[in-house]
């Protein structure tokens, strides 16, 4: 009696399992989000990186996909490197702004072929060291790296010990700063803010007090409109000078930002994939939207709506 | 008048003293013999390089193997894939149900459940809380979080109950499981994320599984505790009636353990909610994701708008399960027990249908209030006026600077200056004094593992932040706790504040903290203090209030002033509670100091954040293990008696 019941239980459990999961193999790299598409519409999932420029890309793409092409769009916030992984697995369909990840590109695009290139975003990114413009006006020679050591005491903080503080941001961003400080013989300490949000909060606070600071920063970035900053010249970039991460002693390159699509999505994504491949705008456009989000505190959707209403000619060309 | 005296306090230390001295003597002897040896062989200062093991290469290989085989290896296809799929199916089912019920249906259902298990007042509170979530414009994220939570909590409860059942019925299982559960309970949530993400990828399955791992242990502990605590006389009576083992379990032991089981459910829910936000880093979606995205644009107001629903959910769920627990054992108003649920269910169906016919399932668009702007203005004003240049006391930035220079830096350099073997001994001494040699060995072993993994320096850096934050927390927490214990009015004012800070996702106040204290270790310490303070205040106040009133009465009759009563009667008698407060403070502070990696606390926190951000298993996992060891060590050094079952999360 008891054994039969137990047997029935096991059989029932097995049946339930099969019912739940379907038979045979379950490739979790092909599973979608449970929150996707309640209405049963066509959906696209976009990766939003943590910086506002990327939010602007996604907001506008989302708005157009939803209102012009009738898609439902989900967004997921993921850091840069994990985003590549998620893209390869199909958890997200597209990354709209990538700052160059040669290792991941080789692994997923060339070797595994799970990701395809989606072309230029149209925006050129540049990383560098920046000081606030009010400081550069006071000390015009501060914008040359050779003079940084003589100003080190200006940048001293509680966290940097006796040295000057060079503030870095999120650990997910591309940076050679520790090596640069060492190889250029600078009397500076790299202090990691740990997240871009913390870094921005600190920069704004410094700027309010007109205090000197030296920070890792990148353009295009909406913060330049709020806190004007001037780049510090590092030894010029030449092709391959940053190949060895330990020996690098040159500035950062200008990177045309790239889009990447999941390979399956690119092949069978229909209008959405075609639209995302054609999506291409300028630094000014992106900044306009980013500033609305970050500074005027509009929601990304409102900001995108505003921009879309004013730039019909730009986005008309993206539609398939 | 009752002449109950306080248990004579003089004799107890007298008894305790001798073994303590003996233990210290043994340690001193050990030091005298081993220290010169260690010094000669490996030198003093930081952990010797010769004693470290580099595990970076194998970890990187593991990580590469997982990435390359995730879509082809049978382990992933036939085991983990189904697991992941099952999670998605379940979450989706719950989400679709919530979506179909519509906002009115969900609110009515929640209120009805609260009414059935906890009474009319909490039902009204539940409804108001849910409507507030909608009014903040957060209805859909709230439902996503709720769907995820329902699945995660059910899974945690199932897993926890099974483990607890095993530990409750078998002594061997209990011995095997207890250290594991003990350890899992003190793990900072951040340390879990990376391995889960690597295997399951970004998304809901990873988030749910990380949550289950985090929330199941308290359920397991409490289940085991409840089963083991069953009254032996009742069990004997049941046995004498000729019940089989299974009947005994089902009819006596489990019903007797109902209170603990419900407390376990309560704990599981609270921990799952706190994890729901942290898991947004790995793509959990929902409210946590809104908080996290708002942080990216430094928008405290928007983060708060998503954080408030989390607080509301937490408070409501806590109160409802708590009230349900209190009701157990009370007499039910006999007769037709089904009447109330049936009536409630009917009402829910009517409300849901009515709302569905009147509008749609979505929250009406016009009914939202935006709180982001006023909040941001308030935060701007606060940070603008307090940051620096406040007359006499200086600004918060100056305090942070002084705190870093005069407290954090000296503590860190002192810790780093200590020879490594002396750190091990310093750890061993208190652990042995308040516990057994086994406690001491665990604590010392944990520190040694940190050294072997080659993260000695960052770990001591983190430790210095923890020590500083704990000191501040204790000073503030004991003061507030004493005040709350002595004044009912103060306690009433304090309670909602504590509730909010205990459940508010830490991400929400990371940014204001940076705006006030700048980037660095000081803001991390500040955030940790804010997070740990409620638990410390609460435990202190509770401990002081539970002091035997007779003892107080007799002290008063002897003419002791109020201050004397506090110092000589209340505080000594509340010692166990105070020690528990210290222990909880340490564990909670550690959890947030790690999250402080996001605001520049550096050290282990930064390495965990780096590991997550770069998908770098080696860095992240080593730092994670070091955090676990640090937590284990701190717990063993501060936890004198048998561990309490609950955790103040």
Say if B414 falls within a structural domain: yes
Say if B368 falls within a structural domain: no
In contact, A73 and A65? CB cutoff 8 Å: yes
Size of interface A-B (CB pairs under 8 A): 224
Write out chain B residues lying below 8 Å of A167, CB-based. Answer: 519
Say if B65 falls within a structural domain: yes
Domain at A38-124+256-316: CATH architecture: 3-Layer(aba) Sandwich (3.40)
Put simply, the answer to whether B81 touches A26 (Cβ < 8 Å) is yes
Write out chain A residues lying below 8 Å of B373, CB-based. Answer: 297
Question: Nearest residue on chain A to B93, judged by CA atoms?
Answer: A34
User: Do B471 and B346 reside in the same domain of the chain?
Assistant: no
In contact, B463 and B526? CB cutoff 8 Å: no
Write out chain B residues lying below 8 Å of A293, CB-based. Answer: 297
A201 touches chain B (CB under 8 A): yes
Look up the ipTM and state it: 0.78
Put simply, the answer to whether B78 touches A25 (Cβ < 8 Å) is yes
User: Do B181 and B264 reside in the same domain of the chain?
Assistant: yes
Put simply, the answer to whether A52 touches B204 (Cβ < 8 Å) is no
User: Do B342 and B417 reside in the same domain of the chain?
Assistant: no
Write out chain A residues lying below 8 Å of B283, CB-based. Answer: 76-78, 86, 91
Phi, psi of B84 (to 5 degrees): -60, -40
Q: Is the pLDDT reported for residue A63 higher than 90?
A: yes
Taking the CA of residue A118 and the nearest CA in chain B, the distance in Å comes to 22
Give per-residue pLDDT as tens, B220-278.
Answer: 888 888 888 777 777 778 778 877 777 777 777 777 778 788 888 888 888 888 887 78
Put simply, the answer to whether A195 touches B609 (Cβ < 8 Å) is yes
Domains of chain B: total: 2
User: Do B104 and B221 reside in the same domain of the chain?
Assistant: yes
Q: Is the pLDDT reported for residue B644 higher than 50?
A: no
Say if B64 falls within a structural domain: yes
Write out chain A residues lying below 8 Å of B81, CB-based. Answer: 25-28, 31
Put simply, the answer to whether A26 touches B78 (Cβ < 8 Å) is yes
Write out chain B residues lying below 8 Å of A203, CB-based. Answer: none
What pLDDT is recorded for position B625?
87
Taking the CA of residue B223 and the nearest CA in chain A, the distance in Å comes to 24
User: Do B160 and B108 reside in the same domain of the chain?
Assistant: yes
Range of the domain at B589: 394-638
Weakest-pLDDT range from B139-153, B484-498, B503-517: B503-517
Give per-residue pLDDT as tens, A4-40.
Answer: 555 555 555 555 554 444 456 666 666 666 665 544 4
Domain ranges of chain A: 38-124+256-316, 126-255
In contact, B286 and B251? CB cutoff 8 Å: no
Taking the CA of residue B81 and the nearest CA in chain A, the distance in Å comes to 5
Q: Is the pLDDT reported for residue B333 higher than 80?
A: no
Question: Nearest residue on chain A to B290, judged by CA atoms?
Answer: A77
A39-to-A72, B142, B357 alpha-carbon distances in Å: 9, 18, 18
Environment class of B33 (CB within 10 Å of its CB; exposed 0-12, middle 13-18, buried 19+): exposed
Note whether A38-124+256-316 and A126-255 share their fold. Answer: yes
Identity of the residue in A27, A91, A197 whose CB atom sits nearest the CB atom of B203:
A91
Q: What's the mean per-residue pLDDT of chain A?
A: 83
Tell me if residue B623 falls in helix, strand or coil: helix
Write out chain B residues lying below 8 Å of A5, CB-based. Answer: none
Region A212-238: what's the mean pLDDT? Answer: 88
User: Do B225 and B322 reside in the same domain of the chain?
Assistant: yes
Identity of the residue in B81, B82, B609 whose CB atom sits nearest the CB atom of A171:
B609
Containing A131, the helix (H) or strand (E) segment is strand A115-132
Give per-residue pLDDT as tens, B150-182.
Answer: 899 999 999 998 998 888 888 888 888 877 887
A282 touches chain B (CB under 8 A): no
In contact, B608 and B631? CB cutoff 8 Å: no
Put simply, the answer to whether B514 touches A32 (Cβ < 8 Å) is no
User: Do B351 and B406 reside in the same domain of the chain?
Assistant: no
Please report, rounded to a whole number, the percentage of residues in chain A having pLDDT higher than 70: 87
The pTM is what? 0.81
Identity of the residue in A33, A158, A192 whose CB atom sits nearest the CB atom of B405:
A158
User: Do B447 and B519 reside in the same domain of the chain?
Assistant: yes
Give A 90-149 residues with CB within 8 A of chain B: 91-92, 107, 112
Cα B293 to Cα A56: distance, rounded to the nearest angstrom: 12
Q: What's B303-355 look like in SS3? A: HHHHHHHHHHHHHHHHHHHHHHHHHCCCCCCCCCCCHHHHHHHHHHHHHHHHH
What pLDDT is recorded for position B329?
56
What pLDDT is recorded for position A132?
92
Q: Read off the pLDDT band of B346 (50, 70, 90).
A: confident
Nearest 5°: CA angle at A149, between A145 and A153? Answer: 130
Other C-beta atoms lying within 10 Å of the C-beta of residue B601? 31
User: Do B356 and B402 reside in the same domain of the chain?
Assistant: no
Taking the CA of residue A249 and the nearest CA in chain B, the distance in Å comes to 23
In CATH, what number is assigned to the domain containing residue B66? 1.10.3720.10
Question: Nearest residue on chain A to B286, judged by CA atoms?
Answer: A35
DSSP state at residue B203: S
Give per-residue pLDDT as tens, B13-35.
Answer: 554 556 667 777 777 777 777 77
Environment class of B270 (CB within 10 Å of its CB; exposed 0-12, middle 13-18, buried 19+): buried
Residue with token string 């702004």: A97
What residues are paired with A216 via a beta bridge?
A129
What pLDDT is recorded for position B373?
78
Fold of A126-255: D-Maltodextrin-Binding Protein; domain 2 (3.40.190)
Give per-residue pLDDT as tens, B578-635.
Answer: 888 888 888 888 888 888 888 888 888 888 888 888 878 888 888 888 888 888 888 8
Say if B23 falls within a structural domain: no
Identity of the residue in A24, A194, A204 whose CB atom sits nearest the CB atom of B609:
A194
- Chain A interface disruption, residue of B297, B395, B608, most A CBs within 10 A: B297
Put simply, the answer to whether B76 touches A28 (Cβ < 8 Å) is yes
Put simply, the answer to whether B297 touches A293 (Cβ < 8 Å) is yes
Write out chain A residues lying below 8 Å of B87, CB-based. Answer: 34
Please report, rounded to a whole number, the percentage of residues in chain A having pLDDT higher than 90: 18
What pLDDT is recorded for position B6?
43
Write out chain A residues lying below 8 Å of B147, CB-based. Answer: 34-35
Cα A199 to Cα A188: distance, rounded to the nearest angstrom: 17
Put simply, the answer to whether B510 touches A77 (Cβ < 8 Å) is no
Say if B579 falls within a structural domain: yes
Put simply, the answer to whether B387 touches A205 (Cβ < 8 Å) is yes
What pLDDT is recorded for position B361?
67
Q: Read off the pLDDT band of A306 (50, 70, 90).
A: very high
Question: Quick one: how far is CA B274 from the chain centroid?
Answer: 8
Taking the CA of residue A14 and the nearest CA in chain B, the distance in Å comes to 13
- Chain B interface disruption, residue of A34, A72, A216, most B CBs within 10 A: A34
Write out chain A residues lying below 8 Å of B196, CB-based. Answer: none
Give per-residue pLDDT as tens, A120-149.
Answer: 998 888 899 999 999 999 998 888 888 889
User: Do B444 and B509 reside in the same domain of the chain?
Assistant: yes
User: Do B175 and B306 reside in the same domain of the chain?
Assistant: yes
């Amino acid at each position: 009696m008891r054994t039969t019941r137990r047997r029935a239980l096991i059989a029932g459990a097995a049946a339930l399992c099969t019912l739940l999961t379907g038979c045979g193999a379950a490739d979790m790299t092909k599973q979608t989000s449970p929150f996707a598409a309640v209405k049963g519409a066509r959906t696209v999932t976009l990766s939003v990186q943590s910086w506002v420029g990327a939010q602007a890309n996604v907001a506008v793409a989302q708005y157009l996909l939803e209102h012009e092409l009738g898609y439902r769009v989900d967004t997921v916030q993921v850091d840069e490197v994990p985003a590549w992984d998620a893209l390869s697995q199909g958890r997200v369909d597209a990354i709209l702004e990538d700052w160059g990840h040669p290792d991941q590109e080789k692994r997923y695009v060339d070797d595994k072929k799970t990701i395809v290139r989606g072309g230029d975003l149209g925006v050129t990114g540049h990383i560098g060291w920046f000081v606030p413009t009010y400081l550069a006006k006071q000390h015009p020679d501060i914008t040359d790296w050779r003079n940084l050591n003589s100003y080190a005491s200006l940048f001293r903080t509680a966290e940097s010990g006796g040295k000057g503080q060079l503030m870095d941001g999120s650990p997910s961003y591309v940076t050679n700063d520790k090596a640069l400080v060492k190889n250029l013989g600078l009397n500076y300490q790299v202090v990691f803010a740990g997240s871009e949000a913390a870094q921005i909060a600190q920069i704004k606070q410094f700027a309010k007090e007109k205090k000197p600071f030296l920070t890792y920063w990148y353009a295009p970035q909406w913060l330049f409109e709020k806190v004007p900053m001037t780049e510090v010249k590092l030894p010029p970039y030449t092709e391959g000078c940053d190949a060895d991460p330990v020996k690098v002693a040159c500035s950062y390159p200008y990177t045309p930002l790239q889009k990447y699509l999941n390979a399956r999505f690119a092949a069978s994504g229909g209008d959405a994939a075609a639209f995302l491949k054609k999506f291409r705008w300028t630094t000014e456009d992106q900044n306009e939207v980013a500033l609305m989000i970050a500074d005027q505190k509009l929601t990304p959707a409102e900001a995108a709506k505003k921009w879309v209403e004013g730039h019909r000619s730009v986005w008309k060309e993206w539609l398939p | 008048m009752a002449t109950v005296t306080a248990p004579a306090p003089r004799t107890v230390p007298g008894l305790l003293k001798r073994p303590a001295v003996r233990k210290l003597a043994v340690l001193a002897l050990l030091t005298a013999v081993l220290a010169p040896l260690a010094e000669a062989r490996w030198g003093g200062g930081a952990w010797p390089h010769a004693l470290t093991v580099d595990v970076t290469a194998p970890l990187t290989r593991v990580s590469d193997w997982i990435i390359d085989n995730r879509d082809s290896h049978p382990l992933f296809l036939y085991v983990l894939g189904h697991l992941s799929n099952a999670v998605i199916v379940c979450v989706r089912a719950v989400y679709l149900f919530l979506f179909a019920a519509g906002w009115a249906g969900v609110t009515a259902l929640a209120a009805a459940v609260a009414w059935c298990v906890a009474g009319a007042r909490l039902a009204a509170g539940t409804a108001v809380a849910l409507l507030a979530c909608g009014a903040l414009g957060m209805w859909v994220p709230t439902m996503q979080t709720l769907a995820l939570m329902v699945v995660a909590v059910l899974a945690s409860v199932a897993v926890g109950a099974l483990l607890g059942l095993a530990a409750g019925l078998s002594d061997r299982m209990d011995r095997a499981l207890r250290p594991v559960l003990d350890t899992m309970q003190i793990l900072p949530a951040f340390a879990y994320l990376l391995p889960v993400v690597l295997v399951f990828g970004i998304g809901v399955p990873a988030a749910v599984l990380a949550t289950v791992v985090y929330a199941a242990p308290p359920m397991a502990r409490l289940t085991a505790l409840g089963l083991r605590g069953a009254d032996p006389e009742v069990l004997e009576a049941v046995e004498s009636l000729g019940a089989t083992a299974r009947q005994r379990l089902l009819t006596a032991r489990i019903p007797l353990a109902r209170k603990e089981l419900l407390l376990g459910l309560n704990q599981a829910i609270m921990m799952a909610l706190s994890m729901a936000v942290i898991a947004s880093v790995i793509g959990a979606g929902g409210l946590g994701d809104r908080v996290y995205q708002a942080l990216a644009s430094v928008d405290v107001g928007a983060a708060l708008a998503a954080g408030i629903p989390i607080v509301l959910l937490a408070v409501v769920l806590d109160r409802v399960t708590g009230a349900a627990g209190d009701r157990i054992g009370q007499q039910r108003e006999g007769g037709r027990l089904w009447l109330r649920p049936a009536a409630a269910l009917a009402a829910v169906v009517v409300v849901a249908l009515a709302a569905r016919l009147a509008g749609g399932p979505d929250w009406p668009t016009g009914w939202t209030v935006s709180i982001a702007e006023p909040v941001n203005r308030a935060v701007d004003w606060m940070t603008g006026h307090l940051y620096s240049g406040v007359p006499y006391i200086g600004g918060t930035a100056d305090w942070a600077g002084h705190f870093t220079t005069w407290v954090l830096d000296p503590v860190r350099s002192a810790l780093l200056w200590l020879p490594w073997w002396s750190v091990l001994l310093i750890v061993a001494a208190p652990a042995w004094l308040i516990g057994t040699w086994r406690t001491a060995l665990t604590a010392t072993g944990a520190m040694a593992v940190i050294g072997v993994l080659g993260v000695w320096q960052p770990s001591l850096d983190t430790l210095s932040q923890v020590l500083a934050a704990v000191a501040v927390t204790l000073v503030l927490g004991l003061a507030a706790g004493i005040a709350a214990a002595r004044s009912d009015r103060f306690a009433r004012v304090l309670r909602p504040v504590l509730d909010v800070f205990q459940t508010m996702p830490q991400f929400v106040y990371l940014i204001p903290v940076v705006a006030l204290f700048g980037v660095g270790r000081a803001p991390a310490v500040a955030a940790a203090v804010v997070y740990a303070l409620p638990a410390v205040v609460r435990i202190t106040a509770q401990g002081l209030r539970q002091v035997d009133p007779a003892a107080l009465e007799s002290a008063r009759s002897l003419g002791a002033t109020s201050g004397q009563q506090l110092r000589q009667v209340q505080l000594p008698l509340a010692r166990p509670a105070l020690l528990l407060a210290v222990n909880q403070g340490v564990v909670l502070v550690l959890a947030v100091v790690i999250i402080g990696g996001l605001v520049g606390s550096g050290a282990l926190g930064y390495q965990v954040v780096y590991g997550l951000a770069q998908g770098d298993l080696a860095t992240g996992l080593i730092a994670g293990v070091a955090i676990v060891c640090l937590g284990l060590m701190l717990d063993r050094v501060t936890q004198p008696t048998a561990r309490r079952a609950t955790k103040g999360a």
